[in-house]
Chain A
Amino acid sequence: MSTVSETISRGQSARRMRVDGWRWGGRVFLVFMLLYTALPMIWMLLTSIKSGFAAMQFPPQWWPDQPTLDSYQKLLDPQNSVGQDFLRFFWNSLIVSTATTILSVIVAVPAAYAFSRFTFPGRNFLFFAVLLRNMFPAVIFLVPLFILMRAIGLVNTHGSLVLTYLTFGLPLAIWLLKGFYDNIPVQLEQAARIDGATRFQAFMLIVMPLSTPGIIATAIYSFIGAWNEYIYAYTFLSKNEQLTLPVGIQRFFSENTTDFPGLMAASFMMSVPVVVLFLLLQRYFVRALTEGAVKH
């Protein structure tokens, strides 16, 4: 009798121990991941509100003695040359990323819809061909694309970047959206067409609203990709007034002596649009990535 109950209780506690072990392991891992991702951001923010001298001290000031927003003021002031440059880079990045995003949605939506709804010769081949580009590292295309851009006179234009980013972003956008359209029953469109809509109206009035989450996810993906891209922007653009933020910041702030607080403030502001965009639209993004995983 007693041996039986002992065995049971020992079994239970052993199981609890094991569960707790995993749980604690998981917590430690999560904390580590949090620090790993958050610490650089925190350090970026802290450095951006230090003076130039304080930023270079060793041992470092963990918390700035005299926090200052000087760097931000300098960057956002259109009167001085630093501010002018920064705001121009920001504007350039915004134009390139927005143009990429809009074009990518305009192309990806009908393309994905066609792949999802129509059968046409070469459909499968084309669909996988779309992915082919993604099988190679982006850098491989740097020189060929540069030569191509030079040949068609697009070097030193934002158009060269938009075109390039589109070729990178579109494949995934089309795949993502196709999955979305696959999950929208074709009967909805048929019903709409019988109810009096043309094929195009059925798409615009019924299918498009249903695929909004997918379109938003696609847009975010394209925007972030274009916003952060460095290598191509660095290669294709050489005129100062055309640079995008990643290249601009890097070039500008390390030209003579590195102004760390300025660099960090600029980096921080560069991350703001992405973070804001993501926070606003994240629920659509998550929905888009998980849609179709479960049948409704």
Chain B
Amino acid sequence: MAHVVLKDLVKTYGSFKAVNDVSLTINDGEFVALVGPSGCGKTTTLNLVAGLTSVTSGDIVIGDRVVNDLDPKDRDIAMVFQNYALYPQKSVYMNLAFPLQMRKLPKDEIDKKVREAARVLDMTQLLERKPRELSGGQQQRVALGRALVRDPAVFLMDEPLSNLDAKLRVQMRSEIKRFHQDLKATIIYVTHDQLEAVTMADRMAVMNGGYLQQYDSPAQVFAHPANMFVASFVGSPAMSLIPLEASTANGGAVLTSAEGWSLELSQRNARKVERATTRKVVLGARHSTIKLHKSAVPGAIPAKAYTVEPTGDVTFVQAFLSGAIVNISVPPNVAVAPDEQIWLEFDQERMHLFDSETEMALEAS
């Protein structure tokens, strides 16, 4: 195993910048998810680490070597592809043996390692089959097996679960997590699904438009999103972002909506707003931090329920505030009807405030 360092990594295609000054340190044995919407540069970043794409500028370090100019085969990495990329003409056994054959290992050692990998992944009985005779989940396992059979320094995974159906995806998710815990492997995992990143990764690197937005543990990213993009990307349903006007008077601060209502801020939040360069502030709140009242309460803001979505465990209510959609979760025993008058109370401790121009989170100090 080894650590991986990306230093000011840039990849351009003509005038298009796919990856912009991305710097990341991935510790030995760490599971890092690169996550972002399609086209954010996460797969390009992974291909740069793999050596399938050439670096425009910056450095990639694996272990203690700068690998910028090394062929993929010399980087001591293994990769799991979205479409698995199993060799269709080879049996499962030969698929697993291929990386070892390429490294010219003796035959009996290859056999030992292949059978060991097959045992670990519980597919000994599939060794003679061709990939097309396997189910999606089994193909996925073979792809994983082909990666782990070689004991590489780093595992690269490019959306390995996105071709599976929902149920299998959840199952494989925990298998990969288990696999990481058992092997103490360094894993770089690309996904567009923030839930995968949050559930599996030690740290997640959120990317957008080729830029690294935030790199931290899922809990930190969730609790302290660095900017509005991260805030809205991580978490489901998405964080509600409400554009408001801030005004300060004798130590306190008030957010005022164009709709007429206003919200008095706590001391801490008032300090955040004071430090902002703009009066236009965006209030961010997750569904679980907004309290829904069926009658007027001091400090609560009146709104109208727009849609009501019961999911069994929890019921999601949507409403409009200042033209933004606000998601609120309520226990299933709270009955809310569409178009019903409701009052929303924001948790001052867990609300987020953003500068509407820079879109960055406002900090108290």
A194 touches B89 (CB 8 A): no
Interface centre among B77, B82, B98, B132 (most CB of A within 10 A): B98
A185 touches B52 (CB 8 A): no
B73 touches A197 (CB 8 A): yes
Question: Is B340 close to A, CB under 8 A?
Answer: no
Known: A193-B73, A194-B77, A194-B78. A209 touches B99 (CB 8 A): no
A195 in complex: contacting residue of B82, B83, B88, B99, CB < 8 Å: B99
A195 touches B146 (CB 8 A): yes
Q: Nearest chain B CB to A262's CB is how many angstroms away?
A: 48
B85 in complex: contacting residue of A191, A196, A198, A296, CB < 8 Å: A191
A190 touches B99 (CB 8 A): no
A interface, how many residues as a size bin? 10 to 19
- Report the separation of the CA atoms of residues A194 and B77 in the bound assembly, to the nearest whole angstrom: 7
B73 touches A198 (CB 8 A): yes
- Report the separation of the CA atoms of residues A187 and B88 in the bound assembly, to the nearest whole angstrom: 12
Known: A195-B98, A198-B73. A190 touches B87 (CB 8 A): no
A190 in complex: contacting residue of B75, B81, B88, B98, CB < 8 Å: B81
Question: Is B103 close to A, CB under 8 A?
Answer: yes
B79 touches A191 (CB 8 A): yes
Interface centre among A185, A194, A210, A296 (most CB of B within 10 A): A194
Question: Is B50 close to A, CB under 8 A?
Answer: yes
Question: Is A148 close to B, CB under 8 A?
Answer: no
Known: A193-B71, A195-B73, A195-B146. A206 touches B87 (CB 8 A): yes
- Report the separation of the CA atoms of residues A206 and B102 in the bound assembly, to the nearest whole angstrom: 12
Question: Is A134 close to B, CB under 8 A?
Answer: no
B interface, how many residues as a size bin? 20 to 34
- Report the separation of the CA atoms of residues A196 and B103 in the bound assembly, to the nearest whole angstrom: 7
Q: Nearest chain A CB to B184's CB is how many angstroms away?
A: 21
Known: A190-B79, A192-B98. A210 touches B88 (CB 8 A): yes
Measured CB to CB, the nearest residue on chain B to A189 is B85
- Report the separation of the CA atoms of residues A190 and B87 in the bound assembly, to the nearest whole angstrom: 11
Measured CB to CB, the nearest residue on chain B to A296 is B132
Question: Is B72 close to A, CB under 8 A?
Answer: yes
Chain B residues positioned under 8 Å from A190 (CB to CB)? 50, 52, 72, 79, 81, 85
Q: Mark B87-99, 1 if CB is under 8 A from A, else 0.
A: 1110000000011
Question: Is A17 close to B, CB under 8 A?
Answer: no
Q: Nearest chain A CB to B243's CB is how many angstroms away?
A: 43
- Report the separation of the CA atoms of residues A122 and B98 in the bound assembly, to the nearest whole angstrom: 36
Measured CB to CB, the nearest residue on chain B to A196 is B102
Q: Mark B31-45, 1 if CB is under 8 A from A, else 0.
A: 000000000000000
Question: Is A28 close to B, CB under 8 A?
Answer: no
Chain B residues positioned under 8 Å from A281 (CB to CB)? none
Interface centre among A188, A191, A193, A296 (most CB of B within 10 A): A191
A194 touches B50 (CB 8 A): yes
B99 touches A187 (CB 8 A): no
A187 in complex: contacting residue of B71, B73, B78, B83, CB < 8 Å: B83
Chain B residues positioned under 8 Å from A188 (CB to CB)? 85, 87-88
Q: Nearest chain B CB to A160's CB is how many angstroms away?
A: 39
Question: Is A81 close to B, CB under 8 A?
Answer: no
- Report the separation of the CA atoms of residues A105 and B85 in the bound assembly, to the nearest whole angstrom: 27
Measured CB to CB, the nearest residue on chain B to A212 is B89
- Report the separation of the CA atoms of residues A75 and B150 in the bound assembly, to the nearest whole angstrom: 63
Q: Considering the complex, which residues of chain A in the window 181-236 have a beta carbon less than 8 Å from any beta carbon of chain B?
A: 185, 187-188, 190-198, 201, 206, 209-210
Chain A residues positioned under 8 Å from B78 (CB to CB)? 194-195
Q: Nearest chain A CB to B159's CB is how many angstroms away?
A: 12
Measured CB to CB, the nearest residue on chain A to B50 is A194
Chain A residues positioned under 8 Å from B156 (CB to CB)? 194
- Report the separation of the CA atoms of residues A198 and B77 in the bound assembly, to the nearest whole angstrom: 14
Known: A196-B102, A210-B88. A191 touches B81 (CB 8 A): yes
Chain A residues positioned under 8 Å from B72 (CB to CB)? 190, 193-194
- Report the separation of the CA atoms of residues A190 and B150 in the bound assembly, to the nearest whole angstrom: 16
Q: Mark B45-79, 1 if CB is under 8 A from A, else 0.
A: 00000111000000000000000000111010111
Chain B residues positioned under 8 Å from A198 (CB to CB)? 71, 73
A193 touches B89 (CB 8 A): no
A194 in complex: contacting residue of B73, B82, B87, B103, CB < 8 Å: B73
Q: Nearest chain B CB to A118's CB is how many angstroms away?
A: 13
Interface centre among B52, B71, B72, B78 (most CB of A within 10 A): B72
Interface centre among B52, B150, B156 (most CB of A within 10 A): B52
Chain A residues positioned under 8 Å from B87 (CB to CB)? 188, 191-192, 206
- Report the separation of the CA atoms of residues A202 and B150 in the bound assembly, to the nearest whole angstrom: 18
A sample of 23 inter-chain contacts (CB < 8 A) reads A187-B81, A187-B83, A187-B85, A188-B87, A190-B50, A190-B79, A190-B85, A191-B85, A192-B102, A193-B51, A193-B71, A193-B73, A194-B50, A194-B72, A194-B75, A194-B77, A195-B102, A196-B102, A196-B103, A206-B87, A209-B89, A210-B88, A296-B132
- Residues of B near any A CB (own CB < 8 A): 50-52, 71-73, 75, 77-79, 81-83, 85, 87-89, 98-99, 102-103, 132, 146, 150, 156
Given contact pairs A188-B88, A190-B50, enumerate 4 new A-B contacts (beta carbons under 8 Å): A188-B87, A191-B79, A193-B52, A196-B73
- Residues of A near any B CB (own CB < 8 A): 185, 187-188, 190-198, 201, 206, 209-210, 296
